[in-house]
Amino acid sequence: MNLKTNYKLPFTSKNNNQIVFQSPWHSQLFAITVQLSERGNFTWKEFVEYFGKSLNKARIIKQNLDGNDDYFNSWLLALEEIIISKEIGNSKILSIIKDDWINAYLSTPHGDPVKIKQRSI
Amino acid sequence: MNSKEHNHSHDDHDHDHDHAHSHLPSDPELRVKAIETLLLSKGLIDSATLDELIDTYENNIGPQNGAKVVAKAWVDNDYKKRLLEDATSAIRELSYQGRQGENMVVVENTPEIHNVVVCTLCSCYPWPVLGIPPTWYKSDEYRSRTVREPRKVLSEFGLNLDPNVQIKVWDSTAELRYLVLPMRPIGSEDMSEDELAKLVTRNSMIGTGIPEIVK
């Protein structure tokens, strides 16, 4: 990794106040992972192993990952991989549901609640 | 912009022409929604618990917990001894326990030694006493450079240590999490435990800062 000597770390305030999650999807992803682990689907140690690998993969494409979207993109990939590996779901069904959401957003008038149809999974 | 609403009469409908439909979330947002939908439908998660988890870490659990541990150790030598010998149990005495705090180790700063905590693998962090880690703790810059050049990284936090002070870097893991016990600041002798807790910042318990009395 290249050392950028003039790089300023994204240091925030020194007091205890901070925005815990920068985006709603970060907090949602965090809570889903914690709950799924605590209900016995995988241990936290197992998740951390997937997460570490996923961060390393991301580093092949981009050096110096930030602790924000980069970090949670890797977290997301790790959760997808552990879900597939534990056979909780597979990539095909995740892709189908994602498409359902895309179609729902594109067909729902602005301002209306976006819902997807129930699908037998 | 075309004032007409969507025309659904053609198949290759181009959605760039109008924003009458809902704003399409980003790819990661959609993937999170897909996971959530799948797990909810399988009954593996529930929405109320998700909301409760987010609320807990956004509002209730944070560095203020660790600050109370540190302040107690400053005023109660017996507690400090227990904290350094068996941090998990001593922290549990203040009802801080559980998730990502199962195996805690407290490392004490002295005039000769300054401790700093990092997680080189990802972002392992003692949630019960510090909450969710700040963005910089999760960045590659902090995670890699703290091991290689801790003194320089600390100086970028505004912490310029005496060259004679030894810096010890502790690598937190999923199984073992570190908390720094900073030195009690000079001039705080007459302060109560509650007043002392207010001096203890998150960074001082990671080792990237020290408690200071604001005049």
CB contact under 8 A, A110 and B141: no
Q: Looking at the complex, does the CB of residue A61 fall below 8 Å from at least one CB of chain B?
A: no
pTM for the whole structure: 0.83
pLDDT at B3 over 50: no
pLDDT in tens, A55-68: 999 988 888 888 88
d(CA A52, CA A35): 20
B89 is annotated as an active-site residue = no
Q: Output the CATH code of domain B69-206.
A: 3.90.330.10
Residue of A2, A15, A16, A62 to mutate, interface with B, max B Cβ within 10 Å: A16
Q: How confident is the model at residue B215 (pLDDT cuts 50, 70, 90)?
A: low
pLDDT at B19 over 70: no
**Which pLDDT value is given to residue A19?**
77
C-alpha dihedral sign at A45, A49, A52, A55: negative
Mean pLDDT, rounded, for B198-210: 95
Reading phi first (left if > 0) and then psi (alpha if -120 to 50, else beta), residue B36 is in alpha
What is the residue extent of each domain of chain A? 24-89, 90-121
Nearest CA in chain B to A112: B22
CB contact under 8 A, A27 and B136: no
Q: Which portions of chain A are predicted below pLDDT 70?
A: 1-18, 119-121
- The nearest CA of chain B is from the CA of A49 a distance in Å of 9
CB contact under 8 A, B123 and A88: no
DSSP B53: H
Q: Looking at the complex, does the CB of residue B134 fall below 8 Å from at least one CB of chain A?
A: yes
Residue with structure tokens 């003039």?
A6
- Write out the two tokens for B12: 């290759």
Residue with structure tokens 């067909």?
A107
pLDDT at B9 over 80: no
pLDDT in tens, B32-84: 999 999 999 999 999 999 999 999 998 889 999 999 999 999 999 999 999 99
Q: How confident is the model at residue B130 (pLDDT cuts 50, 70, 90)?
A: very high
CB contact under 8 A, A16 and B63: yes
Report how far apart the first and last C-alpha atoms of chain B are (Å, whole number): 58
d(CA A56, CA B79): 41
